[in-house]
Chains A and B, each alone.
Chain A
Amino acid sequence: MTFLIGMVSATPSPAPVPGANIFTSPFLLSLLVWTPVIVAAAIAVMPNPRGRYDTLMKQIAFFTILGLTFILFIAYSQFENFIPTMQYEEKLAWLPAIGVTYHLGIDGPGMVMLILSSLIGIASVVASIGVRERVRAYFCLLLLAQSSVTGAIVARDMFVLILFWGASAVPLAVLILGWGGPRRTGAAWRLLGYWGLGTAALVIGTMTLYSVTGGQSFDMDTLLKATLSPRIQLAVSIVMIVAAATRLPLFPLHGWVRDVYAEAPVGVTVIVAGTAARLGGFLLLRTLIGAMPAAGHILSPLLAALAALTVGYAGLAAMRSLDIRHVGAYLSMVPGGITILGFASVAPLGIAGSVLSLFTGGLAAALIVGICATVAERAQSRSLLVLGGLAPRMPKLAWLLTIAGLALLGVPILATFTAEVMTFFGAFKNQPIGAFAVAAGLAVTAVALAMLLRRVMFGAPNPEAPGVSDASLGETWYLGLLAGALLWVGLFPGGPKIPGTEVPLFDPGLVNQMGAGISDIASPYVAPTPGAAQ
């Protein structure tokens, strides 16, 4: 417990971080956002007679994301911990007539999301290596989707946020339409419909804030730091919850989940479940929790109820489903519920847990939907009535599915454990009923996972099932990356140290990064110390 509290109220780093200040760029975040767009444009105009350079295009996409990840890790390494202000900020006037600025910046939670986005980006490209048709268009769209997600993370102006938030839907929908399964059309329309509703809600919320703050600026520093009446806070917060619920997704605005995760190509499911969906939680952190504490307090029972309904529904639906990709889709809703439970706690520990759960939940959700899709492909069937006893014939996938299941449940040594413990410890104090309901939902999820593992992997083999094969090298790499990241952060949430010292090995640790921003975000929710008023 002391360790957990220490994460939230961390003190300044005792020693300079090796590697600090070796890399500076005033346009670092723009580089991360726009490089994929430029590369996508280059791929789009690249000559490719009869698909001769398809492989090269895949390599270009992969090395672009890898290179950007490398740059990000340098930035991560020299990120100033424990500073509650934005870092790597860029601010240029854009539409001065209505107060729009091209304002980018990140704090601790933003850095955590950026790292998640990079890892998911790599996993997504590797998961897409098997694409054979219209390779150019596929990787162009994938890079555009990656760019829009990154842009939404680093946006510090609500207009810019709306731009990137809305822009992510179009390439993803086209990817589903073009490379999805038999019911791809319905899946794409559902995605566009629900995410369009979310974008509309975000626009209305933003415009309300813009209107009540005098219509001078869209900058988050202005909109989200203004003193608003509780009534306005409540109205805007409800709209923002709707926007977030369509993305994360939360019950009852989860209608796109089943079809999209079941029909989209594997690489697309990874990016949607891993990062695009997590943007919903990130939006709530920025707009509701970080900016409207009065509404946060009032709406915390609603958030807890949404969390409980989401986790409970996900578990029950997964239990009843007979399609392995549908099971994966429903299970991927669980981390979103955990994230919202942390916000519902309106306590620093729970909020910190939610931020960590954005990272860990993104990895776990991407892993479960990716692995279910891969199993379905390798076993040539999606039906749980057909799949059975596959573990001996696909040992790698059996292990990875087990890890994914354990990650969803938040067992120790996996990163989700730290996040869920922080979330639940925070929530049990302020929202005990909601926390118990979510815990009960997790128990149902555990049953659903156990049924899935027993039936598909460790049950009796089905002699009439089609032939199966284990994961290919590419599939192993992308699933291994996701599972490895869960293990790495689970084992070293505060970052690895040089043996015998307190000096970080190469980074200050993921949860320490969260310190830069969390205390500022959570400060309105800190309970007053007894006697402090005197």
Chain B
Amino acid sequence: MLLPEALVVTAAVVVLFAARLGWLPRTSRRYLPQVAAVVVLAALGVELWAGATVSTFFGGALVQDRFALFAKAAALLTVAVALAAADWTAEDSPALGVAMPLMAAFGVMVAASAADLVGLWAGLELAAAAAAVMVALRRPDLGLRLLVAGGFASALVLTGLAFLYATTGNADLTAIRAVLLNQAPALTLAIPVLLLLGGLSVRAGLAPFHVASVPAGVGASPLGAGLVVGFVAVAAAIVAIKLAAALVPVPAVFVPYAQVAAAVAMVGGGAAAVAVRSPRPRMAYLAAGQLGWVVAGLSTHFRAGVAASLFLLGAFAVAATCGPALLGRAEGGEPAVAGLGSVRPARAAGLALAMLSLAGAPPLAGFFGELTVAAALAQSGNFVLLGLGLLGSVLSTVAAVATLRVLFIQSPLEEARRGATAALAPLTVFSTVGSVAFCFVIAAYGVFAYPIIGLADQGAEALGLR
């Protein structure tokens, strides 16, 4: 059943058209996000209720399996919480602010269900385009920069996919896997995979390819930053997981690249997070570091490792997308969030949990995900990568605690000195509910890890991993 996709994309298109035709009144800023969040929650309900039935659509181009169920549920939950928790006074356009996250979610859902290379590429581009729109709304220069970097990434991905198609003679992921079962690793396969991973790394903002995404995320509106730092990376990770599952018969063509990328991202992300002080770039670097753990799980190329990556990806999606949304106006750097704990306790608690979860600090969602990946790394005997990951996590925790100090220990700025770049998010019931819901998801992810990791494991199995 593609009803969740239909609900999400219809809502996005309706909002876009309504805004274009001038049907949305000025007061829509108040209720539009709430309506959108309800629609997304309804889609999530449908997905959880009907998504367990395995089925295919469009002649097998889209497949609804446990992997799709997990990824789509995570994406929908993330969007619902992000819409609720965002500071809507900091968004440039409520209509685009609602529509673009929905479009990005649709892109992630397409990528999650894709059974062939075209679907993967389409889903990834859709999510990335939505993020570029959000960035360009506030900073056209950064939007252009993101577009150029995205174009470069897209070219790499497309070239890699084309080579992969040429080498295997198939665009279908299952067929590619079947063809590769009888092949030895070869340069003709290793080169396209390198191009693919390079493109996906640029898309995901994985260190050291974060030169476009982090500045874009810093300059965008809160939700735009969430899309760039979180959602696009999630889409890229989903594409990477599905491609890795197809390439599992010849792991030598992608594992070394993945290990290097993971090591650089984990340590580089943590070190960069310590080096910066402003909360939004710090969050972006923390996210880059945690994404390294996702790639590390992928590099194990067996079911438990991929399941661990997927499990962590769920935690990453929520924290990396909703974190910047919770941050609100942070152009003022640290002073903008100083003492937030005393003036906006729910938002500050959400921010703290987002930071700590992205850092992998116990006992939050990110910790469970990272330790699950660590277990997979240990099983595969890759203790060097494990050690580097732990080093990155320690650095990330130091960075997260530094922001916690600003949030809860420092005194808040006086209202007169705040200005536009450090204005406080208005205290509304909706945003408070969103912040509390976010806190609950991040804190309860570990408590309810039993069914979640079970679904992730089934998702890895659905990709054909044993």
Contacts and interface: CB of A to CB of B under 8 A. Distances in A.
Interface string B392-421: 011001100100110011000000000000
B362 A98 contact: no
Contacts of B453: 95-98
Nearest to B406: A177
A159 B401 contact: no
Given A98-B304, A163-B362, A134 B408 contact: yes
Given A97-B453, A134-B409, A203 B374 contact: yes
A204 B387 contact: yes
B398 A189 contact: yes
A211 interface: yes
A54 B140 CA distance: 49
Interface residues of A, number: 39
The size class of the interface chain B forms with chain A is 35 or more
A208 B453 CA distance: 22
B390 A97 contact: no
A215 B379 contact: yes
A508 B391 CA distance: 46
B371 A162 contact: yes
A192 B398 CA distance: 7
Contacts of B372: 95, 97-98
A159 B375 CA distance: 10
Interface stretch (A110-118, A167-175, A516-524): A167-175
Contacts of B391: 200
B426 interface: no
A137 B339 CA distance: 12
Interface in A58-100: 93-98, 100
Interface string B346-390: 000100000010000111000110011011111101010011001
B381 A159 contact: no
B362 A164 contact: yes
Contact of A96 (B308, B368, B397, B450): B450
A207 B397 contact: no
Nearest to B409: A178
A166 B361 contact: yes
Contact of A177 (B304, B376, B394, B401): B401
Interface in B437-466: 449-450, 453-454, 456-457
27 contacts: A44-B345, A45-B345, A95-B372, A95-B449, A96-B453, A97-B304, A97-B453, A97-B454, A98-B376, A137-B409, A163-B363, A164-B362, A167-B361, A167-B362, A170-B361, A170-B397, A170-B404, A174-B408, A174-B409, A178-B409, A192-B398, A193-B398, A199-B394, A200-B393, A200-B394, A204-B390, A218-B375
* Top 4 A-B pairs, shortest CB-CB distance: A207-B378, A196-B394, A200-B390, A178-B409
Interface of B: 304, 307-308, 341-342, 345, 349, 356, 361-363, 367-368, 371-372, 374-379, 381, 383, 386-387, 390-391, 393-394, 397-398, 401, 404-405, 408-409, 449-450, 453-454, 456-457
Interface of A: 44-45, 93-98, 100, 134, 137, 159, 162-164, 166-167, 169-170, 173-174, 177-178, 188-189, 192-193, 196-197, 199-200, 203-204, 207-208, 210-211, 215, 218
